[in-house]
Amino acid sequence: MTLTTFALVRHGQTDWNAERRLQGSTDIPLNDVGRGQARDAVAILAPYEWDAIVSSPLSRAAETADLIAEGLGLTVSRRVPELTERSFGPAEGMQAGPELEALRIPGGFKGAESEDEAADRGLAALEALADDYRGQRVLVVTHGTLLRVSLSRAIGQALGSVDNAALNLAHHHAVDGWKLEYFNGEPVLAATGS
């Protein structure tokens, strides 16, 4: 059985994360806390041997991947546009409140990418990486909502929010589908999907 192993890591903190603003596809850079989280993630990821590191092209994910790669003595192989965060459209930059609620519709926000569309895109990108790196270990740095909806779809189980720079370890098999071993650094029981 050929397994492709993925570490799926959400980027480090940004100022908009700290302010609880929706970021989506807006390119907000890491802050100093986020850079520290990226460096701290190296210790969690170092026990594994990684064959490739890929990331979203948005700067917060790209810099997180670069800092992790540097700490592991590796380089980032690719920036994958399909790993960009879900677009929240006109809701990007907003905090919870009446203005944000006015944009809310079932499954998301007016003028935004739906949760289903983001899950389709994110899971397709991960499965393409599983094909490209079959049987290898791939470290992917991307975004919280994209990871949550893609992994939820992959394993057929709703997941909660993804923590910044935490270890999410998943395995992909072409026949048996996905198995999630760790979520937000904690072991997961019986989370599999096809």
Residue 16 is labelled as binding a ligand: yes
171 is catalytic: no
Report whether 14 belongs to an annotated binding site: yes
Catalytic residue among 11, 143, 171, 172: 11
Asked about 186 being catalytic, the answer comes back as: no
Tell whether residue 192 is among the known ligand binding residues: no
The vertex-60 CA angle with 135 and 164, nearest 5°, equals 70
Q: Is 122 annotated as a binding residue?
A: no
For every residue of 30-97, DSSP letters joined together read B-HHHHHHHHHHHHHHTTSPPSEEEE-SSHHHHHHHHHHHHHHT----EE-GGGSPPP-GGGTT--SS
Residue 23 annotated as part of some ligand binding site: no
Q: Is the distance from CB of 165 to CB of 40 less than 8 angstroms?
A: yes
178 annotated ligand binder: no
> Which member of 19, 70, 82, 85 is catalytic?
85
Closest CA to 182 of 5, 4, 1: 5
37 is in an annotated binding site: no
Residue numbers in the known binding site are 10-17, 60
The residues annotated as belonging to the active site are 11, 85
Q: Which residues are annotated as a binding site for substrate?
A: 10-17, 60
